[in-house]
Structure 1
């Protein structure tokens, strides 16, 4: 075997080892864990940090305060909103982006953006706990969207999560559900928008903030 061929073979072998050990560059290593470290579990403070802040609100929107619930209160709120038992839930947080009225008198009229987007994060003890609730949430929301013979319109989302489901119902309400490790994230936009926001960008905003938070990086830095 030539030196070049040996070099290529060694490179392929190294990539295989890195992949097997979770040494990827997709930002999910902290959520996967490895032989020495378990998958990351978000604390309530990390949930608060990972949710989109007022400073991160995209053009046309203004962020609101962030609410975080823990323990039994979190489980109760999760169960009421998702119809799942939410086993293993540690905390959950949510915030919303409303129409930014600051440009209502100029070319950036708020009438172009009317609507509201809600962001939610549910942090579980393990990826298995998150996966169970994620499946229940997807089934519940799809059932709501497809009741009375209506069909849900699939929405393409590529935000970097491990699992993703997204669709729009007959009333124009859009919901994006994602799982990343032990976390379930939801982005929900109502059906009152004059021009629909870029849900892929909003979903990516949320996933990117989760990845940075898990790595100990402040997303707003």
Structure 2
């Protein structure tokens, strides 16, 4: 089966609003290239377990990896030190008050092992359009009236698709993620889609699940 996945031809998207079945993605999770970043196509992608990820001046690349990193909100891991930070009120939280600033900071923050950013100018414009339509959301973390952390993603109403987060002081992005999980648990969301594995997300309770299980829960 692995050999078959390696040999599958890559799909090139045109103007039609469609994606190939996620099962046709290659072993790295790359499903298709091309198309556009219209709100309609982006929402179709997220609703089918697909997301865009590509570099500036490259073709749009669409992914559906197997396995998939998710956080079930009730399984969030909160360390003793983070519980103390939360109790002490070191940070304050807002929602959707400065989406553009969160987007820009996520794009500019330096990340270990990454050269440049995948949050290109076209991606910024696309997610701003989704924000205007009420689908893209941001969470902002403040300390002494300064924006020090946050995250943004796509809210499907039952699943939150996390896109990126940033932190300019220790633990600010953790605080945002923990508070997001608490809110989504109260609202009976199924999971936060974290897309790809990172040690940071794993430390917060995120886990890898098979893509077919991911799609089943997403569409169930």
| TM-score, normalized by the shorter chain, greater than 0.5 | no
TM-score by length of 2: 0.29
Q: In terms of Rg, which structure is larger?
A: 1
